[in-house]
Structure 1
Amino acid sequence: MTQTITASYDSSLKARNAFDELVSDGFPRESLFLDEDRNELKVIINDPGHREVEEILNRHEPDDLRSHPYSGS
């Protein structure tokens, strides 16, 4: 099942660093959505990569981390 994982940070630097780490680890940019105005990073991922994404996002100390089923069009 495809999930959307959203991490909220207290600074755009933390959100950007998490984004950069995901890209350098091989996650496709097309599945990453960085909102620097809201300091949020959203990742659309299949179940096999879910745990790795959460570990990376948590390394950057998010204020909030949530996951829900992807409902894209």
Structure 2
Amino acid sequence: MQATPFSKPHPILSMEDQKLVDSAKDILMHQRDLSEEQAYSLLSEMADKRKTGMADISLQLINITKRLTV
């Protein structure tokens, strides 16, 4: 069975970090009309490319979105 990007093993996140990831997924789901799995996969790819963690990339996305919507 082939693993999908959504099912990739990832470090256990703190509750605070998980909230950031969930918020970033929601943003991507609404702005790009993605499924939860697609949004998670996109966040994971972004984090991998920038060599940072899921929570860090999620916080960056949230902050950018806030700046653009104010």
TM range (shorter): 0.3 to 0.5
Higher helix fraction (1 or 2)? 2
Superposition TM-score, scaled by structure 1 size: 0.36
Higher strand fraction (1 or 2)? 1
Superposition TM-score, scaled by structure 2 size: 0.37
